[in-house]
Structure 1
């Protein structure tokens, strides 16, 4: 299986190396070597094939090789670790190998969906944690491998604790997050590959239509949630939905831009901070989202 990102090395002394070293050092060195041997034995005992990862597994990757992995070290989630498996799915067995880029595209599209089932509030993720995935290689595909394991992985350092928050959410929190996540998924999943509206008016209008529909559903969900701040957000999003709908029906690029500017501003994540606080959810806008709306 291949991983989307370069592997991170987490080396440990093997039992054999540690014991050989013990014969050539003093008392304190022997103690250190024995401790190293114990750590090495624990690491060996925790090894698991990447083909048998399960949702919820917390792990540390092995080795220095970029691009491919065969085993990882499974650790208790209360120990510091690099990643946690937060979703999985299988690629259609009837397909021919889609190629490395094709497999990555499939994972790019589906892993966010699977991860949100496990960790619905992306604002609550530890700092520096991003979505990665293990996918079949051409060679493993030929043996029947179709599994994709979606993980949240620390790009620098480690984190502790499980990212499984779905079971602890109150009904109103779950409803809010489901609607909110769907809005931004509609925005980014339907993003045109063209840089300008003039180059792809139809594509941008398709995106606007998808966002307007997701907003309408989100607003309906908010109607069942009590709270002054939630009510204010609902009013804001109702206007944003109307603006996105106007953009979706724009006759030309100029009309699209006129509707798009207030529509995009209307779903600025910062506008939901007060309602999130009211609902007891995370209130710090993720850096990547903050950057988009700050520009």
Structure 2
């Protein structure tokens, strides 16, 4: 025998037994799936779901009673089932009990009601705060950035309460491939918004004093982001105003809207009088006088084309006579040969034009018959 070879065990008397079907030299073998099998180790200890729910409900301040109930139900289940989660259940019970106590104190003292009202007020104000670009026709608003070059936030409010402005319409700036510049954008907005405002507030004498055309333009930065909207409206030059200025065809009768559509152009052209005197720019003043003459003649003719109801017929006829007399004076002014002749006819032309533009007819038609603070109107 080779002394380097390991010695072999000596067979027992009778020899080695034959191996059984499910035995091994080490330990019994249990096939996967048989009763008692645990191929991945012992099953983990589960956490009671009600205990988790109790803790969550205790943390969420509006569900403290539910957390208390869940915790009390979870404790006996944990003990009976050998589950984990006792600490969670106890913590949920403690938090829920504290929250319930605070809730009761708040209800008794009124603190909860005050906090809830403050929360609701804050949420309401937040929901009303908007970018100017989100404003829509008919909305009244407060301008939070009126003292800044650009407004970034406005608050929509009830038109019955004091407010800074009212939206009359929105239009898109078109025809520009690139940012046109503030001057060009402002010129376009002034022209388009004047037309939109005139259609929105036809009863111009109902517009409060110191309330004028107002609009929001895209900035160069927002233009790059695709903003092309111009928001038109009326805004207060001084103090906030109350009530809506809306008086369009949807709120007026056919006779009211027809009368205003006929006479309002006289006011509109009147406010376009050139800033330079005839001595400085005679051509511009003469052209403006011709425009006002055309508005007077058009109003006189159109008033005669319609049958006016009831008590308004007489006052409308008187207004037509006044406009006929004014037409003669303005025709002479528009035909002035030079600045001196223009000045000679200037006062008589204005004096011939009825300042009230048919106050009696307006009264008979149910319109505002007195300009704000006894002054002219705004368009």
Decide whether aligned partners of structure 1 residues 61 and 200 sit closer, same or farther in structure 2, where only a CA change above 3 A counts. closer
SS of 2:170's equivalent? Answer: strand
Question: What TM-score, normalized by structure 2, do the two folds share?
Answer: 0.62
Mark the runs of 5 or more structure 2 residues left unpaired by the alignment: 1-105
Decide whether aligned partners of structure 1 residues 164 and 172 sit closer, same or farther in structure 2, where only a CA change above 3 A counts. closer
Name which of 259, 268, 282 aligns with 2:345: 259
Name which of 182, 193, 201 aligns with 1:119: 201
Distance 2:300 2:193 in 1: 25
Aligned length: 268
Tell me what 2:49 maps to. none
Tell me what 1:62 maps to. 144
Distance 1:266 1:32 in 2: 64
Tell me what 1:99 maps to. 181
Distance 1:171 1:84 in 2: 24
Distance 2:349 2:177 in 1: 39
1:85 equivalent to 2:167? Answer yes
Tell me what 1:279 maps to. 365
Name which of 305, 313, 324 aligns with 1:238: 324
Mark the runs of 5 or more structure 1 residues left unpaired by the alignment: 1-24
Alpha-carbon distance, 1:63 to partner = 4.9
Tell me what 1:181 maps to. 264
Q: Which has the higher contact order (CA 8 A, sep 6+)?
A: 1
Distance 1:285 1:36 in 2: 42
Tell me what 2:295 maps to. 214
Alpha-carbon distance, 1:153 to partner = 2.7
Task: For residues 55-94 of structure 1, give each alpha carbon's deviation from its aligned partner in whole angstroms, at most 9, with x where no partner exists.
Answer: 1222233357512223322345455543221122233332
Distance 1:73 1:290 in 2: 30
Alpha-carbon distance, 1:207 to partner = 0.2
Distance 2:350 2:233 in 1: 30
Alpha-carbon distance, 1:238 to partner = 1.3
CA RMSD of aligned residues (A): 3.0
224-233 or 111-120, larger mean C-alpha shift:
224-233
Query: Is the strand fraction higher in 1 or 2?
Result: 1
SS of 1:167's equivalent? Answer: coil
